[in-house]
Chains A and B, each alone.
Chain A
Amino acid sequence: MSAPTLVTGLGIVSPNGAGIEEFWARTLAGDSGIATVTRFDPASYPSRLAGEVTDVAVEDNLPNRLLPQTDRMTRLSLVATDWALADAGADTAELPEFGTGVITAASSGGFEFGQNELQKLWRKGSRHVSAYQSFAWFYAVNTGQISIRNEMRGPSGVLVADQAGGLDALGQARRQVSKGTGLIVTGGVDGSICPWGWVAQTAQGRLSTENSPDRGFLPFDARAAGHVPGEGGAILIVEDAESAARRGVAGAYGEIAGYAATIDPPPGSGREPGLRRTVETALADAGCGPGDVDAVFADAAATPSLDRSEADAISAVFGPAAVPVTAPKTMTGRLHSGGGPLDVAAALLAVRDGVIPPTVNVSPDPGYALDLVGPGPRAARVRTALVLARGHGGFNSAVVVREHR
């Protein structure tokens, strides 16, 4: 890769804050967005905690015309895109017609919209199913709606790899930028906090059954017993340095310097999981070594076997407790395909401000041999950060972000 791929804008919709500065202030303060589910009554379910986005009035931020035809995660993604483009100072109407694209990640699509329509179909009959069901629930909906709202006609795409997919979208955006598309809207905003989505996630067997928000999501802790799901994520504006310069962009949050993805061997194969190899490949792609990395944003599954394999991979590459590791997602829950992009946004803000955000509520189990940042933030010069994400089925993805000078 020749010209660096820059991140010039961020749009954040997180359970612990909407907008860059609100999210970042609350994250550094250790202020969590995890609480009891409000979207439906969770009393009859084994898991009752979630990270819900509470402070974005989507109805005030989007034309009313879009509301009947969109799932909540699509509305949030459109708002996040508006904010990211504004942050980048980019007016897509002024850019070359086919020179801007949209590449987002998805996991389960507009699942709440889908539940509504399935219920109408089976309770009332097929004629009650909405015309909007033909696209409102499907995995490509956010990319499609973002491209329409912002008139972006260049290379576009949608990647699905559960929680890892958010980083894959960034990797693909970087690929398209390096092939000549000037600006890509990328990242992911996701979430399925509805009864049907809740049951599907419960079936995976990895949701925490805790009721207390400060004990619900404890990765790398001896008490770890599953995660809390959430909704939201981040939209990033990525550009190649030259076209950013052409439209007069002076600074950037940083560069997407490296990316890699692998998938684990089948369960029970006895072969090593792919995460270590993913990290090594991403570092090589970024042209840097383990010693260059100032912070690692962990996948942080909070399922003991997965925490073990992640800690082992980090130690294998960096040495035991040799690099600061953090999991700000302990304040948001796992956001599916939105999780990786939100961690990348946090990593870029860590680069900007010279501070590593904390992992909250966790008493690190020394057995993992990690230098876990927390309970408070840690001042540190962050030139290079590594972001990890893993998805159900064994997907591993890694992105390296680097300061841009």
Chain B
Amino acid sequence: MSIEDLLRILRECAGAEEGVTIDESILDTDFDGLGYDSIALLEITSRIERDFDVRLDDESIDSGATPRNLHSLVNDG
């Protein structure tokens, strides 16, 4: 999964709060800071699981994680 793939999935599955643009500048903002709730995270992780044929642990991504953490988890396991 490329960074571009991840950003596209974030845009499609959860969108952005007012004043936020989903681009490389948000990779180190935690999901809480992006306004992503648990449902948004479930939507994102289940999309990644389907599109990239990976399994992500239920507990591995929470609101304190960042998009970069998620990217590493998917690519490095």
Direct contact of A and B (CB under 8 A): yes
State which of B15, B16, B18, B46 has its C-beta within 8 Å of the C-beta of A127. Answer: B46
User: Within 8 Å of chain B (Cβ to Cβ): is A305?
Assistant: no
Bound-state CA distance A66–B42 (Å) is: 16
User: Within 8 Å of chain A (Cβ to Cβ): is B17?
Assistant: yes
Q: Is the CB of A66 within 8 A of B50?
A: no
User: Within 8 Å of chain B (Cβ to Cβ): is A65?
Assistant: yes
Interface centre among A64, A66, A127, A134 (most CB of B within 10 A): A64
A126 CB, min distance to chain B CBs, angstroms: 11
The answer to whether residues A127 and B35 also contact, given A64-B15, A67-B15 and a CB cut-off of 8 A, is no
20 extra interchain contacts, Cβ-Cβ under 8 A, other than A65-B35, A69-B40, A130-B43?
Answer: A63-B16, A63-B17, A63-B18, A64-B15, A64-B16, A65-B14, A65-B15, A65-B17, A66-B15, A67-B15, A68-B12, A68-B13, A68-B14, A68-B15, A127-B49, A128-B50, A131-B39, A131-B43, A131-B46, A134-B39
A67 and chain B: residue at smallest CB distance: B15
State which of A65, A68, A127 has its C-beta within 8 Å of the C-beta of B50. Answer: A127
The 5 closest A-B pairs by CB, nearest first: A64-B15, A131-B43, A65-B15, A131-B42, A64-B16
Which residues in window 58-86 of A have CB below 8 A to B?
Answer: 63-69
Residues of B within 8 A of A (CB): 12-18, 35, 39-40, 42-43, 46, 49-50
| Residues of chain A with a CB closer than 8 A to B49's CB | 127
User: Within 8 Å of chain B (Cβ to Cβ): is A132?
Assistant: yes
- Residues of A in contact (CB 8 Å), total 13
The answer to whether residues A68 and B43 also contact, given A127-B50, A128-B50 and a CB cut-off of 8 A, is yes
| Residues of chain B with a CB closer than 8 A to A65's CB | 14-17, 35, 40
| Residues of chain B with a CB closer than 8 A to A134's CB | 39
Q: Is the CB of B15 within 8 A of A63?
A: yes
A375 CB, min distance to chain B CBs, angstroms: 45
Which residues in window 263-292 of A have CB below 8 A to B?
Answer: none
Q: Is the CB of A132 within 8 A of B17?
A: no
B49 and chain A: residue at smallest CB distance: A127
| Residues of chain B with a CB closer than 8 A to A131's CB | 39-40, 42-43, 46
Bound-state CA distance A68–B8 (Å) is: 13
Bound-state CA distance A68–B43 (Å) is: 10
Q: Is the CB of A132 within 8 A of B39?
A: yes
Which residues in window 166-222 of A have CB below 8 A to B?
Answer: none
Bound-state CA distance A65–B13 (Å) is: 9
| Residues of chain A with a CB closer than 8 A to B18's CB | 63-64
Q: Is the CB of A132 within 8 A of B43?
A: yes
Interface string of A115-141 (1 = CB under 8 A from B): 000000000000110111010000000
B36 and chain A: residue at smallest CB distance: A65
Bound-state CA distance A65–B35 (Å) is: 8
Bound-state CA distance A69–B44 (Å) is: 12
Bound-state CA distance A68–B11 (Å) is: 9
Bound-state CA distance A134–B42 (Å) is: 12
| Residues of chain A with a CB closer than 8 A to B13's CB | 68
Bound-state CA distance A131–B40 (Å) is: 8
| Residues of chain A with a CB closer than 8 A to B40's CB | 65, 69, 131
B17 CB, min distance to chain A CBs, angstroms: 5
A115 CB, min distance to chain B CBs, angstroms: 18
| Residues of chain A with a CB closer than 8 A to B50's CB | 127-128
B57 CB, min distance to chain A CBs, angstroms: 16
Bound-state CA distance A128–B48 (Å) is: 11
Chain A to chain B contacts (Cβ below 8 Å), 27 pairs: A63-B15, A63-B17, A63-B18, A64-B15, A64-B17, A64-B18, A65-B14, A65-B15, A65-B16, A65-B17, A65-B35, A65-B40, A66-B15, A67-B15, A68-B15, A69-B39, A69-B40, A127-B46, A127-B49, A127-B50, A128-B50, A131-B39, A131-B40, A131-B42, A132-B39, A132-B43, A134-B39
| Residues of chain B with a CB closer than 8 A to A132's CB | 39, 43
Bound-state CA distance A130–B16 (Å) is: 18
Bound-state CA distance A131–B49 (Å) is: 14
Bound-state CA distance A64–B22 (Å) is: 11
Interface centre among B15, B42, B46 (most CB of A within 10 A): B15
B41 CB, min distance to chain A CBs, angstroms: 9
| Residues of chain A with a CB closer than 8 A to B12's CB | 68
A133 and chain B: residue at smallest CB distance: B43
| Residues of chain B with a CB closer than 8 A to A63's CB | 15-18
